[in-house]
Amino acid sequence: MSITVVGSIAYDTVKTPFGSRERMLGGAAVHFALAASFFEDVHVVGPVGDDFGEEQLEVLRRRNVDVTDVERVAGGKTFFWQGEYGWDLNSRETLDTQLGVFEGFTPKLSERSRSSDVLFLANIQPELQIEVRRQMPDARFVALDSMNLWIDIARDSLVSAIESVDCVILNDAELRQLTGKPNLVTAAREILSWAPAGRAGSEQPRGPSVIVAKQGEYGAALVTRSGFFALPAYPLETVIDPTGAGDTFAGGLVGYIAAHLAGRDAGDAGPEELDEELLRRAMAHATVLASFNVEEFGTERLERLAGREIVARIAELHAMTQFSGAPLELRG
């Protein structure tokens, strides 16, 4: 079951306490696609300028990612971001952002991209997310990412976009900002209660049914209408660069779900039918893929990552996060 991702393709210049890189391959769509490609075919939709090289596109092609809908804008410059991380790698300072061709981006989806059963709307303007969603009305699973900027300046449009998807992936601070609720669980429950106007009582899913809260080095949480699940981040002794970790996490999550929807009939594979165990396994794979992403700069680690490494680390994460034994009989 193929996946279409719409988002940024970029050059990043990054400095951390452990080194730096100039104009390395980056962007939300790139990190997502590399992670999701371990599970299903991925179609990337996004713009680049004349300065974007074939060498960078080849990174995606080597993972069998379809780059047909990567639009090269004549005379344009590729989206560029420069940032510096502090010692704890949780805080970063943006030093430069050049939108380039991304400023006037209008997603153009080929028939192949539109025919995907799974769609990921990476962090772009909510109005564009809505437009892409309209181009893919029959997608069986749609997930969305966003950021605090759009909550500040385009909240109404973002809410409309969220009402049209099945899964929302935000960090915990963004969930609280979006809903005005004081903690992660109440914020997620608020979004789960949103019903698109005119759809109440219909047979279609009423707004998102899966909320994922990214929590950086503390892991991630999953909230659905029937349950709650949380995983810590995979413990690493060496963390070099967190750039793109959230998009890699999303690629692992959505990719795993897409792979398992492929074996279900269309009538029985809606987001409401995704069982809790499947979603929990998807969270584990997302967590592990994000852990590989941060071990080196940019996409360097993902480019040479092997499936067997993912499987081994999944087993390690499973061993770390399970326990057995009956609870003690406590006094009082």
pLDDT band for position 326 (cuts 50, 70, 90): confident
Vertex 313, ends 248 and 212: CA angle to 5°? Answer: 40
pLDDT band for position 202 (cuts 50, 70, 90): very low
pLDDT band for position 201 (cuts 50, 70, 90): very low
Question: At CB < 8 A and 24+ separation, what contacts does 277-283 make?
Answer: 279/210, 279/222, 279/224, 279/229, 280/222, 280/229, 281/256, 282/252, 282/253, 282/256, 282/257, 283/212, 283/220, 283/222, 283/229, 283/231, 283/253
User: Which domains, ranges and CATH numbers included, belong to the chain?
Assistant: 3-320 (3.40.1190.20)
Q: Which of 321, 252, 254 is closest to 288 using CA atoms?
A: 252
Please identify which residue in the block is written with the tokens 């970790």. 245
> 181 vs 87, 149, 172, 173, 191, CA distance in Å?
30, 18, 11, 10, 10
The tens digit of pLDDT for each residue in 108-156 reads: 999 999 999 999 999 999 999 999 999 999 999 999 999 999 999 999 9
Q: How many CB atoms lie within 10 A of CB 228?
A: 14
User: CB-side exposure of 150: number of CA atoms within 13 Å?
Assistant: 22
Q: Judge contact between 310 and 285, C-beta under 8 A.
A: yes
Mean pLDDT, the chain, whole residue set = 92
Q: How many CB atoms lie within 10 A of CB 210?
A: 24
* Helix, strand and coil percent figures for the chain, each rounded to 5: 40, 20, 40
The DSSP letter of residue 233 is P
- Enclosing H/E stretch for 212: strand 210-214
Alpha-carbon gap, residue 93 to 121, rounded angstroms: 25
The predicted structure's pLDDT at residue 332: 79
Alpha-carbon gap, residue 116 to 303, rounded angstroms: 24
